[in-house]
Amino acid sequence: MARWIPILLVWALAWGCAGVKPWERGRLAHDCMQIVVDADEAGALGKLEATREGASGGLSGGGGGCGCN
């Protein structure tokens, strides 16, 4: 019985995956589905991410990732 548990677990996880049809993507792109809805907060999170990452770029001027720009 114990060897069936991993098989059932993998089956249950795989069953939960579903493809999104092109005509269903509009629902997922709705404003309420966005993680950040405030533009100021999005800018602050972008700055934080760029500072922590150090490798992201193309959004503003150059910097070394230290957050001093």
| Radius of gyration, alpha carbons of the chain | 21
What pLDDT was estimated at residue 25? 82
Domain spans, the chain:
25-53
Q: What is the mean pLDDT of the chain?
A: 76
- Catalogue the E-assigned strands of the chain: none
pLDDT of residue 62: 58
Please write the tens of the pLDDT for every residue from 9-39.
888 888 777 788 888 888 777 777 777 667 7
| 22 vs 56 pLDDT, higher one | 22
Confidence (pLDDT) at 68? 64
- What is the token pair recorded at 35? 């993680």
pTM: 0.29
Closest residue by Cα to residue 47 from 25, 67, 17: 67
Q: Which two tokens stand for residue 55?
A: 């490798």
Is the CB of residue 56 less than 8 Å from the CB of residue 50?
yes
DSSP code for 16? T
Higher pLDDT, 68 or 24: 24
Tokens standing for 57?
A: 């770029």
